[in-house]
C-alpha cells in the first residue's frame, strides 16, 4: 500500500517516453498561470520561509547530507506542521521539502529507487495535505499554491558547492541527475516548480532546457547571489533575467538564499531585462559555515516590514524568506504588504 499514491503518477513510465511527455504537457496546461492568477488577485504573492532551520528549532536534528529531505521519512508529520504554520502566518505558497531530495541521495542511505521516488513524491503530498488542512480551518477553498522545490546539483553533493557552482562535473552528469527528478515532480499535484538557489547561469539554462523538453511546466527561476551584481558563480544577474525571458513557461525570476542587503540592487539590475514577475526570498543574512555545519554572524531581518517595502519598491512582486527565517517573519511581511499603499506599476 505504501506506493499506491506514487503508482498513480508513475504508471505513464510503462508506456514509453511519448506518454511521459503527454503527462508533462497535461501538467503544463492544468497548472499554467497559477502564479500569474494569484498575482492578479492582489498585486503580490507571499512565499513561505525556511523549512530546514524551522525543523531544527522544533527539535529535529539536521546534521546530515540530506538536510531537510531526511525528515520525509523520519518526521513527515513535522514537515506538514511547518507547512501548515506558514499558511497560518499568511503564506500564499508552500515550497516543498524536495530541495535536497534525489534518488542518488536516498540511495546512499540504502533506499531502493521506488522507495526514493515515493519519498520525493511525499514531499509534495505533505505540502498539499497542509494546504487542505488550512483550507478546512478557514472554511473556504482559498488560492494557496504548492511549489515543488528543485535544488542545484551541489545540494546533492552536500559539500558547499551549491554556493559556488564548481562541481567538477560536466553537463551530461548534471542532466542525468536532474532529468529523472524533474519528470517525477511534474507528475505530482504541485502547482509549479521552484528552481531555486541555483548558483550558475549554466545550471539554470540546463534545467530550463530539460523542462522545455518536458512540455514546459510552469516554474520560477531563482538564483543565489554573492553580491548586488552577480550569482554565486560570478554570472551577471542581468543574464539570468534575459535567460528567463527566453522561456515562456518561466512565470517569475529572482533571487533567494542571498543576503538581504544585496536584494534591492539585484532586482533593480534584473528589472529592465525581463517582463516576468520578480521574486525575492533572501536568507536571514547569517553565513553558513560548512566546516562547523552551523550558521554564524548577525541576522539581517531586524525589520521585515521595512525590507518588504524596500524589495517591493525595487520591483519584487513575489516575496518570502529562505534560510533561518520563520513563520513570524512571514507574518510580518504579510502585515507590511497588506497595510502599505502599494503601487504595482
- Kindly report which listed range (173-182, 195-204, 263-272, 295-304) carries the lowest average pLDDT score: 295-304
Backbone CA torsion sign across 105, 110, 112, 118: negative
Joined grid coordinates for residue 35: 502564479
One-character DSSP codes across 219-232: EEEEE-BSSSSBBT
Query: Containing H/E element for 253?
Result: strand 250-256
Helix (H, G, I), strand (E, B) or coil at 19: helix
The reported pLDDT for the residue numbered 210 is 98
Strand partners, 43: none
90: Cβ contacts below 8 Å, ≥ 6 apart: 46, 330, 331, 333, 334
Separation CA 236–CA 111 (nearest Å): 39
Would you kindly state where each structural domain of the chain is located, as residue ranges?
Answer: 4-339
> Is the pLDDT higher at 330 or at 12?
330
Joined grid coordinates for residue 125: 503530498
Residue-wise pLDDT tens digits, 209-238: 999 999 999 999 999 999 999 999 999 999
Strand partners, 93: 47, 145
Residue-wise pLDDT tens digits, 45-84: 999 999 988 999 999 888 777 778 889 999 999 999 999 9
pLDDT category at 27 given cuts 50, 70, 90 is low
The number of angstroms, rounded, from the C-alpha of 277 to the middle of its chain's C-alpha atoms is 15
Is 70 exceeded by the pLDDT of residue 343? no
CA distances (Å), origin 331, targets 106, 241, 282? 34, 29, 15
Return mean pLDDT, the chain: 87
CA atoms within 13 A on the CB side of 170: 1
Joined grid coordinates for residue 251: 512565470
pTM of the model: 0.89
One-character DSSP codes across 104-170: HHHHTTT--HHHHHHHHHHHHHHHHHHHHHHHHHHTS----EEEEEE--HHHHHTSSGGGT---S--
Is 70 exceeded by the pLDDT of residue 274? yes
Taking residues 15-33, what's their average pLDDT? 52
The reported pLDDT for the residue numbered 319 is 97
Is 90 exceeded by the pLDDT of residue 22? no
Joined grid coordinates for residue 246: 527566453
pLDDT category at 36 given cuts 50, 70, 90 is confident
Query: Containing H/E element for 277?
Result: strand 277-281
Cα–Cα nearest to 76, from 60, 99, 95, 100: 60
Look at the domain 4-339 and name its fold.
TIM Barrel (3.20.20)
Helix (H, G, I), strand (E, B) or coil at 192: strand
Amino acid at each position: 500500500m505504501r506506493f499506491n499514491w506514487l503508482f498513480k503518477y508513475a504508471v505513464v513510465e510503462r508506456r514509453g517516453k511519448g506518454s511521459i511527455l503527454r503527462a508533462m504537457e497535461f501538467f503544463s496546461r492544468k497548472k499554467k498561470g497559477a502564479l500569474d492568477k494569484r498575482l492578479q488577485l492582489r498585486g503580490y504573492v507571499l512565499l513561505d520561509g525556511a523549512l530546514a532551520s524551522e525543523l531544527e528549532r522544533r527539535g529535529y536534528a539536521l546534521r546530515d547530507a540530506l538536510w531537510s529531505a531526511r525528515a520525509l521519512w523520519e518526521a513527515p508529520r513535522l514537515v506538514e506542521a511547518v507547512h501548515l504554520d506558514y499558511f497560518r502566518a499568511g503564506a500564499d505558497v508552500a515550497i516543498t521539502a524536495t530541495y535536497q531530495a534525489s534518488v542518488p541521495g536516498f540511495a546512499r542511505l540504502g533506499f531502493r529507487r521506488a522507495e526514493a521516488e515515493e519519498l520525493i513524491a511525499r514531499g509534495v503530498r505533505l505540502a498539499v495535505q497542509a494546504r487542505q488542512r488550512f483550507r478546512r480551518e478557514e472554511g473556504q477553498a482559498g488560492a494557496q499554491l504548492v511549489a515543488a522545490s528543485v535544488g542545484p546539483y551541489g545540494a546533492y553533493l552536500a559539500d558547499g558547492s551549491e554556493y559556488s557552482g564548481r562541481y567538477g562535473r560536466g553537463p551530461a552528469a548534471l542532466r542525468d541527475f536532474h532529468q529523472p527528478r524533474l519528470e517525477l515532480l511534474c507528475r505530482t499535484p504541485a502547482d509549479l516548480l521552484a528552481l531555486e538557489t541555483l548558483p550558475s547561469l549554466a545550471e539554470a539554462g540546463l534545467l530550463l532546457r530539460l523542462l522545455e523538453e518536458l512540455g514546459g511546466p510552469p516554474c520560477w527561476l531563482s538564483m543565489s547571489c554573492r553580491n548586488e551584481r552577480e550569482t554565486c558563480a560570478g554570472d551577471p544577474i542581468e543574464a539570468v533575467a534575459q535567460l528567463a525571458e527566453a522561456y515562456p513557461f518561466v512565470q517569475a525570476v529572482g533571487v533567494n538564499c542571498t543576503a538581504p542587503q544585496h536584494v534591492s540592487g539585484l532586482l533593480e539590475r534584473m528589472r529592465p531585462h525581463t517582463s516576468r514577475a520578480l521574486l525575492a526570498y533572501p536568507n536571514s543574512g547569517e553565513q553558513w559555515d560548512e566546516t562547523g555545519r552551523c550558521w554564524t554572524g548577525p541576522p539581517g531581518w531586524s525589520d521585515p516590514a521595512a525590507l518588504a517595502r524596500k524589495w517591493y519598491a525595487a520591483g519584487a512582486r513575489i516575496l518570502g524568506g529562505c534560510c533561518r527565517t520563520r513563520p513570524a517573519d512571514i507574518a510580518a511581511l504579510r502585515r507590511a504588504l497588506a497595510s502599505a499603499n502599494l503601487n504595482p506599476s
